């Protein structure tokens, strides 16, 4: 049997993963159907197509076109578990959220939603920088151009699958190359600088993972182009820090306003007070509030 069967802690809702991953028709790094997620994963130097399917209290990982070694299977399992945050016990979050006016209805509606992230640090930082001060729709457009220009691809049947561009490839560029894709000048410089830091070995997820969240955040803030929002977003989505809190996030403020039904968005001080109630789970609270903004795709 070439498949993998992954245990998942309850609560877990595979359909909620599908809804989240289907948010944009511009998404180019995975393909979703009503029942499955397909993604091209770069395992070592080899792009391998994986398909994720729900099977009772498990996820079945299928390799539709590749023979994979046991070592590659182990890498794929780690990637999937990291991507979908499958190793976290959500019981304390649900217990806390059940008593919270904002979170209780969201947890009831989307029970089992996981904080889906970016296992790759370069992808997480690049996506966060692309998204600074532009609409989500335009951010997806820019990301698609970036991936289709510099990512690796495999054509299988009539479907093209892509991996996120490798840092070492982007490190060789000059800013004008990204300006052609509608990055502004500063974002072009930031992304290339980060690619060069990663390629040189000065910046890596492995090195940072051994540090405290506070130290990781300080290291991220030392990177040109990374402010508080970007650092907290990357802590949430790459390092799966459940307590990371992008407190100034526009979507978070919109979601709180929507949940409360108020005519105005909350102030930063009001958001801070909510965060105090969510201590230790600010990232998950934010993720569930974001979920309220896009309905059932």
Counting beta carbons within 10 angstroms of the beta carbon of residue 42, is it exposed (0 to 12), middle (13 to 18) or buried (19 or more)? Answer: middle
- DSSP for 38-88? EEEEEETTEEEEEEEEEETTEEEEE-SS----HHHHHHHHHHHHHHTTTT-
Cβ-contact 123, 164 below 8 angstroms: yes
For residue 51, the cross-strand partners are 38, 62
249 carries an active-site annotation: yes
DSSP letter assigned to residue 156: E
Residue 92 CA to residue 107 CA, distance in Å, equals: 12
Which of 168, 235, 223, 169 shows the shortest CA–CA distance to 198?
168
Choose, from 13, 120, 249, 296, the residue flagged as catalytic: 249
Which residues are the active-site residues? 249
């Amino acid at each position: 049997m070439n498949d993998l069967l992954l245990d998942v802690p309850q609560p877990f809702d595979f359909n909620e993963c599908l809804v989240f991953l289907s948010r944009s028709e511009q998404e180019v790094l995975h393909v979703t159907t009503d029942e499955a997620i397909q993604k091209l994963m770069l395992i070592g130097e080899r792009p391998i197509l994986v398909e994720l399917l729900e099977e009772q209290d498990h996820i079945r990982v299928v390799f539709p076109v590749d023979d994979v070694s046991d070592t590659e299977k182990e890498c794929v399992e780690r990637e999937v578990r990291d991507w979908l945050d499958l190793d976290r016990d959500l019981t304390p979050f649900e217990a806390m959220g059940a008593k919270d006016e904002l979170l209780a209805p969201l947890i009831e509606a989307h029970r089992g939603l996981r904080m889906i992230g970016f296992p790759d640090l370069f992808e997480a930082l690049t996506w966060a920088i692309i998204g600074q001060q532009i609409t989500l729709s335009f951010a997806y457009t820019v990301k698609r151009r970036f991936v289709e220009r510099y990512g690796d691809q495999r054509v299988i049947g009539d479907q093209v699958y892509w991996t996120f561009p490798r840092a070492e490839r982007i490190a060789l560029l000059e800013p004008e190359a990204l300006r052609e894709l509608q990055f502004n000048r500063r974002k072009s410089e930031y992304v290339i600088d980060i690619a060069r830091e990663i390629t040189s070995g000065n910046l890596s997820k492995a090195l940072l993972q051994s540090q405290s969240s506070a130290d990781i955040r300080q290291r991220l803030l030392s990177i040109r182009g990374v402010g508080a929002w970007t650092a907290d977003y990357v802590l949430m989505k790459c390092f799966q820090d459940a307590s990371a809190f992008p407190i100034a996030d526009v979507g978070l403020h919109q979601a709180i306003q929507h949940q409360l039904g108020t005519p105005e968005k909350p102030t930063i001080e009001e958001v801070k007070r909510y965060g105090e109630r969510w201590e230790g789970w600010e990232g998950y609270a934010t993720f569930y509030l974001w979920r309220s903004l896009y309905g059932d795709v």
